[in-house]
A = this chain, B = another copy of it.
Amino acid sequence: MPYSREHKQNSREKILQSAYRLFSTKGFDNVTVDRVMQDCSLTRGAFYGHFRSKSELYKEALKFAASNSKLADIKPEGLSSREWLSVLLDGYLSLEHVYGERPCPLAFLATDIVSRDKETHKTYAQVYTRMNQLILDYAGRDTVKNSQDVFSLTSMIIGAVAVSRTLEDQQQVQQILSSCRQQARLMLGGI
């Protein structure tokens, strides 16, 4: 047996991490396999030992990002679900998220996904459903009049960060995020 048992698994995770960071900031076509591998200090050739194709990498990176996203973090002890949800939303609607290393795939891949294959669409849809579900759960289902109300909340926060990343004017971005944080609190009262 060559290398240690975990070596390949480690490499795979490094590739996924680099891939997602690059894909989410540049989109599928503006990222080359070479660039991803350079980013994690490996080379082209090694790539095909881990993934069948660039498309497969994209899909796996999407799954990887979903399970490692801020929104998947575990609620700390001593906070109510509602309080934790509030923390999560503020984190989501923050500059750190907009420009950070673990951006939400729902926002940052939104229009990029359209040209990908059916499987990838399905994965995206699953991530989307999970996000809505998670917010519903934290908000407390018993207080929900209509579970569909959550869609307007997620639309808003996804739209906000997606647009924010394209804007140069930092002050305007701050205003957008702030406006949405405030609105989110109002909506959660309603939900």
Instruction: Give residues in A with beta carbon < 8 Å to B.
Output: 25-30, 106-115, 118, 121-122, 124-125, 128, 148-152, 154-160, 162-163, 165-169, 175-176, 178-180, 182-183, 186-187, 190
A-B contact pairs, 18 of them (CB 8 A): A25-B114, A26-B114, A27-B111, A27-B114, A28-B29, A111-B112, A111-B162, A118-B168, A124-B167, A125-B166, A125-B168, A149-B183, A151-B179, A155-B180, A156-B159, A158-B162, A158-B163, A159-B159
- The residue that A111 contacts in the complex, of B109, B154, B156, B180, with Cβ under 8 A, is B109
Nearest CB of B to A139, in Å: 14
Residues in chain B near residue A115, CB distance under 8 A: 26-27, 30
Assuming the A-B contacts A110-B111, A111-B27, A165-B114, are A152 and B158 also in contact, with contact meaning beta carbons closer than 8 angstroms in the complex? no
**Complex contact B166–A159 (CB within 8 A):** no
Residues in chain B near residue A155, CB distance under 8 A: 155-157, 159-160, 163, 176, 179-180
Nearest CB of B to A65, in Å: 14
Q: Which residue of B lies closest to A173 (CB)?
A: B151
- The residue that A152 contacts in the complex, of B25, B29, B183, with Cβ under 8 A, is B183
Q: Which residue of B lies closest to A28 (CB)?
A: B29
| Most B C-beta atoms less than 10 A away, residue of A28, A109, A155, A166 | A155
